[in-house]
Amino acid sequence: MNVHAPEVIRREDMRAALKRQCSNLGHAVEFLAALAGTRRPRIGYVGGWLGHANLGDEALLGATKMLFPRASVVAYDPHWNCRSVMGLAKTLRSFRYALLGGGTRIFRSSFALECARKGFSLSKRRFVFGTGVANPSFWGGQSDWVDQRREWVDALRDCFYVGVRGPISAQLLIENELKDVEVIGDPVLAFARDASSASAWMPDSLGLNVGRCARMWGEQSSMNEEFAQLARLAKRAGWKVTWFVVWPEDLPVTREIAEASGTSEHIHEIYDDPQAYMKLVEPMSVFVGVKLHAVVLATCAYVPALMVEYRPKCRDYMLSIGQEQNTVRADCFKAEDAWETVKLWNCRREPSSLALRKTIEPMRNKQRQRAQSLWSAFETSAGGRIMDRTTAEASA
């Protein structure tokens, strides 16, 4: 029997407390560093899976900065949840606004709800711009999903504006008794090309994107084989096949499929630069992809694209730009059918690209106008000066 056990326990508790304090101090320093260097009104960007070399999440943050150029958009780090940092943020009144953005956050998980609540506490001026809503018809079948729709709606009722990615997202919120929801599209549409910037494209070229899909419609192995077969069909026809990887953990899957199909000569890895990705994908004649923002950015370059819907969020986006007919669920995806589609687009590349542009531009322009009108409404008084907190809240 260890007679010193209580003393040992006290020392361990003290070490743990000291470790927490040091960690909190580190997060406080990170927080202050994130705020330094700007006097523009700050928007706390709540959401997204940042810092993990995932092109989609990095593109969402970049797009938000483009949409609100007169603000300083600062990404909220979940580590800031500690009491000392949150207290510091409130004392300094660090954020004029709190924005829920970044991917499929709403209804998605308890962690996402906690982040939204904590992030919203940064400011009483809260809004949602382009966030997706997780579909319970899909996520309800996952063992770790918790139905917190009521809690989410309660949190969102405090927002002065709720704009979501697509019509499925909007309908899910309306069905759960949240009114005044607008379909504003995926924020990454901010990267969509202007009509005057179209570049030359290469006939008989196919861009492909696939990756690791932990949760999806259907089976990963079956989808992988269909992609391999599609690549084989294109190679046999003399086409150039190029693979695009937007997350490092997708690379092994991509290489395996590319090698199995004999098309591993051209594999591009782009993890943090949406413009570089678009520059590479823009010359493709056609594109077929799985990961949401791999396809979103391809459509922003006006490359005719087939979306392989591994989760409902993919269809939500395609509906928002009038492209549902070019969406196929992963468990229904067949290489032969996709090949017929891409051959048709290849023969009609210019009119297909123009038709895509005509569906993209209205949503992109709507986003720009809504962002501008929101900023004007809650940030500028009739005399043209920046509103202070009290005036802004009184005008809401």
Residue-range domains of the chain with CATH? 40-190+366-395 (3.40.50), 195-347 (3.40.50.2000)
Question: Does the pLDDT value for residue 69 go beyond 50?
Answer: yes
Residue 119's Cβ-side half-sphere holds a number of Cα atoms within 13 Å equal to 31
Q: Is 214 helix (H, G, I), strand (E, B) or coil?
A: coil
Integer angstrom CA distances of residue 240 from 204, 285, 349: 6, 10, 16
End-to-end CA distance of the chain: 66
> Residue 186's pLDDT is what?
98
Question: Does the pLDDT value for residue 18 go beyond 70?
Answer: no
Closest CA to 305 of 204, 206, 184: 206
Question: Does the pLDDT value for residue 21 go beyond 60?
Answer: no
> Residue 224's pLDDT is what?
98
Question: Does the pLDDT value for residue 31 go beyond 80?
Answer: no
Q: What integer is the mean pLDDT of 16-26? A: 49
State the chain's mean pLDDT as an integer. 87
Question: Which range among 36-40, 65-69, 349-353 shows the weakest confidence by mean pLDDT?
Answer: 36-40
pLDDT in tens, 201-238: 999 999 999 999 989 999 999 999 999 999 999 999 99
> Residue 100's pLDDT is what?
96
Reported confidence tier of residue 8, pLDDT bands at 50, 70, 90: low
Reported confidence tier of residue 200, pLDDT bands at 50, 70, 90: confident
Reported confidence tier of residue 90, pLDDT bands at 50, 70, 90: low
Reported confidence tier of residue 75, pLDDT bands at 50, 70, 90: confident
> Residue 391's pLDDT is what?
39
> Residue 11's pLDDT is what?
63
- Highest mean pLDDT, choosing among 10-19, 53-62, 138-147: 53-62
**Which residues in 356-368 are b (16+ Cβ under 10 Å) and which e?**
bbeebbebbebbe
Please tell me the distance from the alpha carbon of residue 361 to that of residue 335, in angstroms, as a whole number: 30
Q: Which residues are within 8 A (CB) of 146 and not within 5 positions of it... i.e. 6 or more apart?
A: 109, 110
Question: Does the pLDDT value for residue 114 go beyond 50?
Answer: yes
Reported confidence tier of residue 385, pLDDT bands at 50, 70, 90: very low
> Residue 117's pLDDT is what?
92
> Residue 197's pLDDT is what?
54
Tokens of 271: 């993890």
> Residue 178's pLDDT is what?
97
pLDDT in tens, 288-347: 999 999 999 999 999 999 999 999 999 999 999 999 999 999 999 999 999 999 999 999
Reported confidence tier of residue 383, pLDDT bands at 50, 70, 90: very low
Q: What integer is the mean pLDDT of 239-260? A: 98
Q: What integer is the mean pLDDT of 73-95? A: 64
Q: 89 in the Ramachandran plot: left (φ > 0), alpha (ψ -120 to 50) or beta?
A: alpha
Question: Does the pLDDT value for residue 67 go beyond 90?
Answer: yes
Task: Give percent above pLDDT 90 in the chain.
Answer: 70
Question: Does the pLDDT value for residue 42 go beyond 80?
Answer: yes
Reported confidence tier of residue 23, pLDDT bands at 50, 70, 90: very low
CA angle 76, 79, 84 (to 5 degrees): 100
Please tell me the distance from the alpha carbon of residue 347 to that of residue 333, in angstroms, as a whole number: 22
Question: Which range among 142-146, 254-258, 267-271 shows the weakest confidence by mean pLDDT?
Answer: 142-146
Question: Does the pLDDT value for residue 198 go beyond 60?
Answer: no
> Residue 396's pLDDT is what?
39
